[in-house]
Amino acid sequence: MAEFTMELSDEQKEVRDWLHGFAADVIRPAAAEWDEREETPWPVIQEAAKVGIYSLDFYAQQYFDSTGLGIPMAMEELFWGDAGIALSIVGTGLAAVGVLANGTEEQIGTWIPQMYGDANDVKVAAFCSSEPDAGSDVASMRTRAVYDEAKDEWVLSGTKTWATNGGIANVHVVVAVVDPDLGSKGHASFIVPPGTPGLSQGQKFKKHGIRASHTAEVVLDNVRVPGSCLLGGKEKLDARLARAREKARKGGERVKNAAMATFEASRPAVGAMAVGTARAAYEVALEYAQTREQFGRPIIDNQGVAFQLADMRTSIDAARLLVWRASWMAINGKPFTAAEGSMSKLFASETAKKVTAQAIQILGGNGYTREYPVERMHRDSAIYTIFEGTSEIQRLVIARTLAGMPIR
């Protein structure tokens, strides 16, 4: 087990500086254009693939960093460049992690390469979980998967929403209900291969922020996939469902808490994204305050501006430390006895919203225009308090954990 440290190793610093250079030289110059176009930035993804950032190997190396800091460090630097483009680059990772966590070796070897493609022909993947009536309340999921034993096929029907890369992906990973009596434990994940009949893109959302990231509905109309597309296989699923039914009879809350632990472990990565956006806005505001003169002196000489910057930097550093602590705990198997994962995501996401708003205020009228990036950063920051569990859900998780109450 790695000791907790706030000092990056030389190797980690090299990776951080490499990512920062890519974010500064490739992502940031393209940010305004793709935000306006509201389209997937394929050329930037291709550049990321060429240098090795858009690849499973890169994310695997960061994920298995024994300090736990690889992923949050990478997320912070990429999202410092631009949240929308960065989400387009890392969005495939959501589906890839779903396959890595649940799939067989054969499924991993077959499907993950198809999710990324290569530098000459990049692909993307989509993870489809949320539904119009099942966002935070995953137990309300309605998309069904029914097994056709005669044909050894699963038939998927339903509508997914808020799917990053939904409809444009080469490979879709779809979470569906196989046993509605078990709530979230009655879910299973399926691969929908490219070109499968019955899968279509529904509404593409025109969003407030992260507009370079494609977000859409995915409609599943009697989509048939081979039995081999059930992640983990049917034997494993049947055994898991049997255990879940037995646990539900003995004490259903333990089943629900086990599911919640999975969400807890993923939330620090979102917190790191928020830290990156907040840091970017703070740096713009700091430089502006140092160079903008009013009444014969830089505006940073005014206490009202200087104190805002002091608070911004303090909040950013505090958010990063919460993210790093939770990330270290997760990789080292430390239980989140105080919902530390939710704490990191809650504080970092709220910090991003506040810091980007303060940056606009420091820039004044300039900050309100699209000539300066803080306007876009503020729009982007709103998503952090919504996806991967809203701030209200984070507070609920934290409060119930502290009180020793079951999390539903």
Residue given tokens 């803080």 in the structure block = 374
Q: Which amino acid is it at 47?
A: E
- For the question of residue 375 being annotated catalytic, the response is no
| CB of 189 closer than 8 Å to CB of 156 | no
**Catalytic entry in 47, 76, 340, 388:** 388
Q: In sequence order, which residues have a C-beta less than 8 Å from that of residue 244 and are 6 or more positions away?
A: 179, 182, 185, 186, 255
* Paired tokens of 268: 């620090």
In our burial notation (b when 16+ CB lie closer than 10 A, e otherwise), range 373-393 reads: bbbbbbbbbbbbbebbbebeb
Give the torsion sign (CA, 333, 188, 96, 202): negative
Distance CA 128, CA 94 (A): 9
Q: What is the DSSP string of 192-253?
A: E-TT-TTEEEEEEP--SS-TTS-EEEEEEEEEEEEGGGBTT-HHHHHHHHHHHHHHHHHHHH
Q: Is the distance from CB of 380 to CB of 209 less than 8 angstroms?
A: yes
**C-alpha to C-alpha distance for 50 and 394, rounded to whole angstroms:** 37
**Three-state SS for 165?**
coil
* Neighbouring-strand partners of residue 144: 157, 177
Residue 397: which of 347, 343, 360, 329 has the closest Cα? 343
Q: Positive or negative, the Cα torsion across 98, 100, 106, 109?
A: positive
Instruction: Give the 3-state secondary structure of residue 122.
Output: strand
**Pairing between strand 187-192 and 171-177?**
antiparallel
Cβ neighbours of residue 136 under 8 Å, at least 6 residues apart?
A: 389, 390, 393
Q: Which residues are identified as catalytic?
A: 388
